Amino acid sequence: MSNAAISVLVSAEKDPVLQAIGKKVIAKQRISFEEGVQLFERGSLSYVGALANWVREEMHGDKTYFNRNFHIEPTNVCVFSCAFCSYSRLYSNREEGWELSIEQMLHIVKSYDGKPVTEVHIVGGVHPKMTLSFFLELLQTIKAHRPELHIKAFTPVELDYMFRKANVSIEEGMRLAHEAGLDSLPGGGAEIFHPDIRKKICEDKVDAEGWLKIHQTAHELGMHSNATLLYGHIESYAHRIDHMERLRSLQDQTGGFNTFIPLKFRNMDNDMSDVPESTIVEDMKMYAVSRIYMDNFPHIKAYWPMLGRQNAQLTLSFGVNDIDGTIDDSTKIYAMAGSEEQNPAMSTADLVRLIKQVKRQPVERGTLYNEIRDYTDVDPLSLELDPQLN
Ligand code: V47
Ligand code: SF4
């Protein structure tokens, strides 16, 4: 939407609160906590969505990023018992779960030898026998095999547990992990920071302060990271904005976050199955408000295995400029929570086609948003015929 068109839309808004917020957005001024809540409460999807789309196009034009990555989930055994988690098995029921050895994980990495993947994303449950030294060895082993592969791994939930167990400080633990090959942190484990909700859905794992401290320490060591928010369950709009506010403040200090990823709560086979899932309108509004509120986050990502492909496509008109990656494995955390994507895998051709179908510009990126290839002039069919590229 052009600057003239968005100005007309804002001027025509009858609600004075929403009009004032719109004026701030198009003047590139930061909106306040209260204004964020008002956008959720009073804004129509068409109004909030148009503002978010304008912000997205000002920042990135039509560019829509994806990367080529694969996931490793070392274990689904977990000492914690988050109410929304459909994936983990308690340590006491560990025979129902899986635990991979370093050798088995190296075998997964080796299965991508010769393939143009740029990132491995490693995250899983918190297994008491998978210690800091186990993971340092894993990082070193992967780096020794394929040094240029970017390792994005471990949430503060896993890191906090392994550092405590090894009796090292966050600073020392993060330094050791970075030296062993950890390149960046994924955004998981954040859920909802506000203690009133956190104590109801994931009481026993790292709290907001611990989560933020680990990301801050990573940033101070020169690493980048992502941040998530688990929405659409028992939280209020104010809780969502509180969460975003804490991230926005840390980003003002460090500038180390790349991407904000709102994660839609899925309710299958977990202790919150009685909580209904959010509507598609609510989902799109969540992405749109995120784009507007998180003005210092360069990127907003929709994680397609959780939303489904068509909804992920829709987010590209509501502030999102990244749809994660080819993934190429059975990412179990969402399949087990009721996602439509039971065995998520999209080839490069699928991703390029998905982005082009909604008239956006597909660009392959590295984890740190270095542009690897622009697919504007590439026919997805030609990619399908080239197994090396696809
Ligand atoms: O922290 C768990 C979420 C997260 C459910 O950084 C659920 O690039 C919905 O953080 N319904 C882990 N969500 C995944 C994650 C992630 C994914 C993709 C990319 C990146 C990145 C990070 O999954 C957990 C939790 O918030 N989750 N159970 C559920 N039932
Ligand atoms: Fe464990 Fe993570 Fe599941 Fe919580 S969300 S129970 S920390 S695997």
CA distance readout (Å), 167 to 85, 132, 134, 175, 287? 28, 10, 15, 14, 39
Ligand 1 and 266: CB distance under 6 A: yes
Domain boundaries, the chain: 3-60, 64-218+266-280+305-317+325-384
pLDDT category at 306 given cuts 50, 70, 90 is confident
What is the b/e burial string over 127-143, where b = at least 16 CB atoms within 10 angstroms of the residue's CB? beebebeebbebbebbb
Taking the C-alpha atoms of residue 62 and residue 353, their distance in angstroms, rounded to an integer, is 14
pLDDT category at 368 given cuts 50, 70, 90 is very high
Taking the C-alpha atoms of residue 162 and residue 214, their distance in angstroms, rounded to an integer, is 12
Measured by CA distance, the residue closest to atom 4 of ligand 2 is 82
> Has residue 296 got a pLDDT over 60?
yes
Nearest to 83 by CA among 274, 333, 270: 270
> Has residue 334 got a pLDDT over 60?
no
Region of poorest pLDDT, from 67-81, 174-188, 339-353, 368-382: 339-353
> Has residue 262 got a pLDDT over 80?
yes
> Has residue 109 got a pLDDT over 70?
yes
Ligand 2 and 206: CB distance under 6 A: no
DSSP, collapsed to helix, strand or coil, labels residue 59 as helix
Rounded mean pLDDT, 258-276: 95
Ligand 1 and 184: CB distance under 6 A: no
Taking the C-alpha atoms of residue 20 and residue 349, their distance in angstroms, rounded to an integer, is 43
Taking the C-alpha atoms of residue 88 and residue 93, their distance in angstroms, rounded to an integer, is 10
Taking the C-alpha atoms of residue 89 and residue 81, their distance in angstroms, rounded to an integer, is 9
Ligand 1 and 189: CB distance under 6 A: yes
**116 exposed, middle or buried (CB, 10 Å; 0-12, 13-18, 19+)?**
middle
Nearest to 373 by CA among 384, 387, 363: 363
The letter for the amino acid at 298 is P
The C-alpha angle 228, 234, 235, rounded to 5 degrees, equals 55
Ligand 1 and 325: CB distance under 6 A: no
- Please state, as a whole number, how many other Cβ atoms lie within 10 Å of the Cβ of residue 114: 8
Taking the C-alpha atoms of residue 313 and residue 354, their distance in angstroms, rounded to an integer, is 7
Helices 33-42 and 280-293, packing angle to 10 deg: 160
Ligand 1 pocket test: pick from 82, 159, 192, 230 the residue with the most ligand atoms within 8 Å of its Cβ.
230
Q: What is the pLDDT of residues 126-156, one digit of tens each?
A: 999 999 999 999 999 999 999 999 999 999 9
Sign of torsion over alpha carbons 73, 256, 297, 65: negative
Taking the C-alpha atoms of residue 50 and residue 361, their distance in angstroms, rounded to an integer, is 19
Q: What single string gives the DSSP state of each residue in 158-194?
A: HHHHHHHHHT--HHHHHHHHHHHT--EE-STT-S--S
The letter for the amino acid at 72 is I
Q: What is the pLDDT of residues 154-179, one digit of tens each?
A: 999 999 999 999 999 999 999 999 99
Q: Which ligand is nearest to the CA of 201?
A: 2
DSSP, collapsed to helix, strand or coil, labels residue 204 as coil
Taking the C-alpha atoms of residue 164 and residue 180, their distance in angstroms, rounded to an integer, is 18
Q: According to the model, what pLDDT value does residue 330 have?
A: 44
Ligand 1 and 270: CB distance under 6 A: yes
Q: 153 near 119, Cβ under 8 Å?
A: no
Q: According to the model, what pLDDT value does residue 326 have?
A: 76
- Please state, as a whole number, how many other Cβ atoms lie within 10 Å of the Cβ of residue 343: 10
CA of 239 to the centre of ligand 2 (A): 21
CA of 164 to the centre of ligand 2 (A): 17
Rounded mean pLDDT, 9-21: 97
Which residue(s) pair with 257 in the sheet? 225
Ligand 2 and 230: CB distance under 6 A: no
Furthest-apart CA atoms within the chain: distance in Å: 63
User: What is the pTM assigned to this prediction?
Assistant: 0.95
Ligand 2 and 270: CB distance under 6 A: no
CA of 150 to the centre of ligand 2 (A): 24
For 220, the enclosing helix (H) or strand (E) is helix 208-220
- Edge-to-edge strands, sheet with 361-365: 322-325, 63-67, 361-365, 371-374
CA distance readout (Å), 243 to 157, 275, 379? 17, 21, 41
Quick one: which atom of ligand 2 is closest to the CA of 125?
8
pLDDT category at 121 given cuts 50, 70, 90 is very high
Ligand 2 and 390: CB distance under 6 A: no
Taking the C-alpha atoms of residue 38 and residue 289, their distance in angstroms, rounded to an integer, is 10
Q: 166 near 173, Cβ under 8 Å?
A: yes
